[in-house]
Amino acid sequence: MDEAKRDPEVQGSPPSAPRITHEDRDRALDRLAVARARRAGSLRGLRVFWLLLGPGILVFLGENDAPSMLSYAATGARFGIGFFLPFVLLTFLMGFVVQEMTMRLGAVTHRGHAELIFDRFGPFWGWFAMGDLLLGNFLTLVTEFIGIRAGLGFFGVPPLVSVAGSVVVVLVVATTGRYWTWERATLTLAAFNALFVPAALLSHPHWGAIGHAFLSFGPLPGGLSGSMLLLLMADIGATVTPWMLFFQQSSVVDKGLTPRDIGSGRLDNLIGTLLAAGFGIATIIATSSLYRHGVTADALKAAQFAQALIPFVGHIGATLFALGIFEAGMVAVITISTSSAYAFGEVLHTGHSLNRPPREAWPFYAILLSSSVFAALLVLIPNAPLEYIVLIVNVIAVLAMPPALVFLLLLVNDPVVMGEHRNGIWANLFGGGIAVFLIAVGIFYGITTVFPRLIGS
């Protein structure tokens, strides 16, 4: 039966009948499209996957955000390609393990991450997780606007215009009143993350050296130093962050995925992992041309990377690089502000779906927009150390990730929550190994920060 025909407002049902909301109606229509695709002809598998893909690709391309791409740019410019190409690929594989668990948790429970933490662990740990998320999200949003300002600054766009215009884009995309429309619009914008690939090709990379880098996993160039450790932490933080858990689980719920869709969800995550890893690696390759030609990159600020690349990738390559930085920041502003709004809505038990129009879920949209506005205002402060802020925010993301990962592992191993879909041995080995690795990295970074003489400068 057509879900719209069961709306009590349409049919005049008695007041005691459950009210079918705009959100219910839209999600039912999405599921009806999936059901019809499953009954279709020989191409039904591709049609079903097309309807179900989105959250996995979007979360990984959203994590290829402005601070991430600028961290990769700094990595390539300062240290070249040797160690970091396989290292970045490994960090994305870690991200796949984490986000697969997140997708599965959302498909099985049909509940958001913040809501589950509050229900299973109580208000104390719930607010702890929320504080972890919101602090990280706000700081990251600041860096996204830094990237937007840097990317458009290459074209001479004034900071106020670039930042204010981006907030308007967030508002327009978010208030469509339809999750499907929001997702497809954001995915279209995220596709421009691929601009880093032609920028890398225009740098005329040494393919033999790239192949050797992946096969040999060479030593750290120059050994472990303070600047090297900062970039290592920043590159890890460019791949696994708390907002990804909250965003993807809520997106899976908003999209209406079920346990039957877990296989498609894994493929969605895998495609997102490989795309994001490829674009991140392309960024390192593009800026490694500065390293190869002996250009000192330590003094480069975010807005200057594209300008510095002109002699090595040409004006076209530099233009693509600058547009890629802008795109990376723009997509991340949309997704990260949405993750904050999802979490707040779940905790406050108000409407928290992009399938609801603003008049029905105004607190959700108010959080989404206000978080972007306040972050944008901070970016306009004169003479702020923008590149340093970018790197430090990614480091904070690494330090904030272990608690979030512990909550995730506890939830996906809870038989009451997950039933037959709870973690198996291999998922726990990989997930637990990632948690231990991130904790160890965070402790090491803390020790070397307090006692810098343990490593070089």
Q: Tell me, what's the pLDDT at 42?
A: 54
Residue 30: inside a domain, yes or no?
Answer: no
Q: Element (H or E) spanning 356, and its range?
A: none
Residue 13: inside a domain, yes or no?
Answer: no
Rg (C-alpha) for the chain, rounded Å, is 22
Encode the chain (457 residues) as per-residue pLDDT tens digits.
444 444 444 444 455 555 677 777 777 777 788 888 878 765 667 888 888 899 999 999 999 988 889 889 888 888 888 888 999 999 999 999 999 999 999 999 999 999 999 999 999 988 888 888 888 888 889 888 988 988 898 899 998 999 999 999 999 999 888 898 999 999 999 999 999 999 999 999 989 989 988 888 777 776 666 667 777 877 887 788 889 999 999 999 999 899 999 999 999 999 999 999 999 999 999 999 988 887 766 656 555 788 889 999 999 999 999 999 999 999 999 999 999 999 988 888 888 889 888 888 899 999 999 999 988 888 887 766 666 666 677 677 777 788 889 999 999 999 999 999 999 999 999 999 998 888 887 777 767 766 666 655 5
Q: What does the block give as tokens for 196? A: 């880093």
Residue 418: inside a domain, yes or no?
Answer: yes
Q: Tell me, what's the pLDDT at 47?
A: 82
Residue 299: inside a domain, yes or no?
Answer: yes
Domain limits at 161?
53-454
**Of 328, 296, 91, 318, the residue nearest 190 (C-alpha):** 328
* Residue 32 φ/ψ, nearest 5 degrees: -65, -40
Residue 17: inside a domain, yes or no?
Answer: no
CA end-to-end span of the chain: 68
Residue 434: inside a domain, yes or no?
Answer: yes
Residue 40: inside a domain, yes or no?
Answer: no
Query: What's the CATH number where 304 sits?
Result: 1.20.1740.10
Residues 357 and 22: their CA atoms lie apart, in Å, by 8
Residue 35: inside a domain, yes or no?
Answer: no
Residues 57 and 187: their CA atoms lie apart, in Å, by 8
Q: What total number of domains does the chain contain?
A: 1
